[in-house]
Structure 1
Amino acid sequence: MTRLTICIPTRNRQHYAMDAARHMLASKRDDFEILIGDNSDDAAPLASFVAEMNDSRLRLLPPEEKPLAMQDNWERMPQHARGEWISIIGDDDYLDPDLCEVLRLTTQRVPNADALTWGRSYFVWPEARSHREITRIPTGSHLMHMEKKDLMRKMFFWEDAKDRPACPFGIYHGALKKDLLERIRSAFSNRYFEHPNADYDSICKTVMMADMCIYWERPLSVFGACAASNTAGLRDTAVGLERIRTVREENQSQLEAADFPFPIELGITSSVAHAVEWFKQRYGIELNGWEEGFIKACAGDCESQTDRARFEEKKAGYAAAIKQWRGTQALKLFNPAFKHRPDVPKFMGHAEAHLNFDMGIGNAQTAAEFYNLLNGMLFPVRLLESRLNDA
């Protein structure tokens, strides 16, 4: 039985997808498969790679006649998946096939579980890293049920948000049961993914439709950021604007919500908010009382800046948008402060159930290599069953 399909959509970044797949296929497990959705201009590299690997666990969707928008490349993958569960990662990311064991144990104990996610870990590829980076990973290993009402508040009311909703339940770096995906497709315009910000589109729909959401504190994947990634646009303003221009060309008017005067170019908070508001507007969802959480997240986006000029630019942009949107009174909730202190060394060590350390540890060159390092530091997946039996 194929328990899990790991989907890797890619466009013109074939060697990243190859690296991730090659490391995954080193696993001896036979209950997962990898499905690469190639949206590249040149179909040959990945076709040759799949033929060379000659592994039944690796399959390829070749490019179509014309390049697809990102969400359309995602859209064609679930229907070809053979797994009972489906997960999507970026081509510069990594996902541990041992997720299959976590899914097995979860469904054994919670048969109606249909959405699962895990702790986050991040890796900037060396090519995109201009200075020393300190990363942070959770060190807990509890498997827990998350109440849907709490997830709804985190997603749609921006509760506890720093610069984006603190709700990780979706298909991107999460796993959804195929049955849940089909219910999502049936409920929402016969599509799995609609908005160009497909990961947040998925979270909105998952929170609305899932029966049982399970969270494991221990990371099972790595969010990678190579030089060509959209994530790199969050670190470089010029790159970010170029990425947005490309997405606009692919999607025309579908990118932004109506009557929501926050330029997407402002930052991650504005970008995510447009995806959430677009979803709410499309499906007639009207909510009150979410504005304060969102405005505080706008301040959080500003405070994440390490350059004073960029901080002031963001602050002015968000302030103007908030005033236009909800008036001068709402500005009282918006109080960002420039917090970057280059003279203070970044903390390294264990605190608040997280380990902070140099991203360059072990000289990892890829997201897969970085995960292998983490895997040796964290709670072993193979011990989860005995831990649950002892609970």
Structure 2
Amino acid sequence: MAPFTRESDMPPMVSLSICIPTRNRQGYCIETMRAIAGSGERDFEVIVADNSDDPAPLRQAFDSFSDHRFRLVAPQGRVLSMVDNWERLIPETAGHWISVIGDDDYIDPAVGGLIRRFEGLRPDVEAIGWGRMNFHWPDNRPVPTLASVPTGAGCWASDRVDLQDRLFRWSEGRSRPSCGFGIYHGAVRRTLMERIRQTYGGRYFEHPVVDYDSNCKVVAEARSLLYCERPFSVLGECAASNSASALSLERLKVLVETFKTESASDLIRANPDFPFTLFEAGASLCVSIAATTVWFCRKYGIDLTGFEANFARAAMDECRYSPSLEAYEAKVANIRAGFAAWDGGRWADLFEPAPFNAPKTVNALSGVMEDMIHLREDRLRVTTPGEFYRYAEHAIMPVGHVVAGTRSFVT
């Protein structure tokens, strides 16, 4: 299962390469591989880049795994930063299209049918996005949690100018800019990935917040972007995932220290254009995403008009959803310090978060709200993202209908 070293060693081109970078989460990764292997699709490959301290578990798993669609890229003898582990994946792929998921996630290889349909409709399409389900692994439920399933199935061509306004200038003023396009839980045409490498410093990925690094470059460069509301992947959240910090302040502290230790880049350590710390107890995903988009826009000369006020609104939105008073106070103090140092405090008055308001009930009810099904996870009889995807498929548009164009395509 060693990586191919010569072009002649490469397998025939396939439609889709699914990449899974992993570090010290071998059990989750093996479950993800098993779930994907259950697909009857043939026109895809899975490349796993192991960056773990102990290479034995995944090596043993692959030794007993006879599926030719899967290949292992072994550890390099030293710990790679996350961005470097992602970087080494792309040259190993043989697909016309490339997607990256986390080792605790799931993707349905049937998304290849959606890709082929979109290529037929728009031969110039270079980036494809789709809806994502959300699922907490059983070990990541310190409070009651909800899984979520988008119910839509419409497809449309996205306006790149609007996407850039949302991603670069945070025009929505929400804690996460809604982008939907990038290599993480999306598909990017290989030719676009090569153009990105040639345009942006000879690398596919530069910033340690790798998923948003990709979002920025895809939205800046893609000529045509198509989106399907129907979910084809699951964002899994295990206890060791970055997103687990949203549920536990203690977990956030551990993740921050790990991120600081394992990031080989100084890009996020000292950013005078955006002096918000990522390494304190009040660090937030909102700040880390904004630090990435600001870095990208400053480096590559993209207009940021309006970003400051929009980010203040986004930061206040982030504070609203703090899980506890302690987490709220730490986050507000961290963000307030950043505003005080930013442009000499020019934007500090814009950050006025509402007082902490403890929720009366926490994820107590299942139901449908705003085209999303929410399900109490303590009532579910599934334990992995792959199992949850198959369970949730009973409530959404069948893949075959979407791929056949049963739902209209909106330009």
Q: The TM-score by the shorter chain falls in which range?
A: over 0.9
Residue in structure 2 matching 1:209, options 210, 213, 221: 221
Q: Residues 120-158 of structure 1, C-alpha deviation per residue, up to 9 Å, x if partnerless?
A: 221111111123212332211001111000100010010
Matched, 1:348 2:366: yes
SS of equivalent to 1:168: coil
Q: Residues 198-243 of structure 1, C-alpha deviation per residue, up to 9 Å, x if partnerless?
A: 0010011011111111111111111111111122233222322332
Which residue number in structure 2 is paired with residue 335 of structure 1?
352
Residue in structure 1 matching 2:315, options 288, 298, 301: 298
| C-alpha displacement of 1:373 | 1.1
Matched, 1:155 2:167: yes
Which residue number in structure 1 is paired with residue 267 of structure 2?
254
Which residue number in structure 1 is paired with residue 4 of structure 2?
none
| C-alpha displacement of 1:326 | 4.7
1:70 and 1:196 in contact (8 A); partners too: yes
- Comparing 122-131 with 246-255, which one deviates more in the overlay? 246-255
Decide whether aligned partners of structure 1 residues 345 and 123 sit closer, same or farther in structure 2, where only a CA change above 3 A counts: closer
Q: TM-score, with normalisation over the residues of structure 1? A: 0.94
Matched, 1:173 2:173: no
Equivalents in 1 of 2:61, 2:76: separation in Å? 18
Structure 1: 5+ residue runs without aligned partners? Answer: none
Equivalents in 2 of 1:98, 1:294: separation in Å? 37
Equivalents in 2 of 1:343, 1:260: separation in Å? 36
Residue in structure 2 matching 1:271, options 281, 288, 294: 288
| C-alpha displacement of 1:286 | 4.5
Residue in structure 2 matching 1:184, options 182, 189, 196: 196
Q: Residues 265-304 of structure 1, C-alpha deviation per residue, up to 9 Å, x if partnerless?
A: 4211111111112222332434222111111110011001
SS of equivalent to 2:405: helix
Equivalents in 1 of 2:123, 2:238: separation in Å? 38
Structure 2: 5+ residue runs without aligned partners? Answer: 1-12
Equivalents in 2 of 1:313, 1:105: separation in Å? 48
1:39 and 1:63 in contact (8 A); partners too: yes
- Comparing 154-163 with 195-204, which one deviates more in the overlay? 154-163
Equivalents in 1 of 2:240, 2:152: separation in Å? 32
Amino acid at match of 1:354: M
Q: Percent same amino acid at aligned positions? A: 38
| C-alpha displacement of 1:249 | 2.5
2:275 and 2:338 in contact (8 A); partners too: yes
- Comparing 242-251 with 11-20, which one deviates more in the overlay? 242-251
Which residue number in structure 2 is paired with residue 97 of structure 1?
109
SS of equivalent to 1:113: coil
Decide whether aligned partners of structure 1 residues 324 and 358 sit closer, same or farther in structure 2, where only a CA change above 3 A counts: same
Residue correspondences, number: 391
Decide whether aligned partners of structure 1 residues 390 and 293 sit closer, same or farther in structure 2, where only a CA change above 3 A counts: closer
Equivalents in 2 of 1:59, 1:344: separation in Å? 42
Which residue number in structure 2 is paired with residue 321 of structure 1?
338
Amino acid at match of 2:384: T
- 1:1-391 residue pairs with structure 2 within 5 A? 2-250=14-262, 251-256=264-269, 257-264=271-278, 265=280, 266-326=283-343, 330-337=347-354, 338-343=356-361, 346=364, 348-388=366-406
SS of equivalent to 2:230: coil
2:16 and 2:45 in contact (8 A); partners too: yes
1:17 and 1:91 in contact (8 A); partners too: yes
| C-alpha displacement of 1:313 | 2.9
Decide whether aligned partners of structure 1 residues 364 and 344 sit closer, same or farther in structure 2, where only a CA change above 3 A counts: closer
| C-alpha displacement of 1:245 | 2.2
Q: Residues 335-377 of structure 1, C-alpha deviation per residue, up to 9 Å, x if partnerless?
A: 3223442247755322322222212343211111111111222
| C-alpha displacement of 1:81 | 0.5
Q: TM-score, with normalisation over the residues of structure 2? A: 0.90
1:362 and 1:373 in contact (8 A); partners too: no
Which residue number in structure 1 is paired with residue 8 of structure 2?
none
Amino acid at match of 1:314: K
2:276 and 2:335 in contact (8 A); partners too: yes
RMSD of aligned alpha carbons: 2.0
Decide whether aligned partners of structure 1 residues 105 and 53 sit closer, same or farther in structure 2, where only a CA change above 3 A counts: same
2:135 and 2:146 in contact (8 A); partners too: no
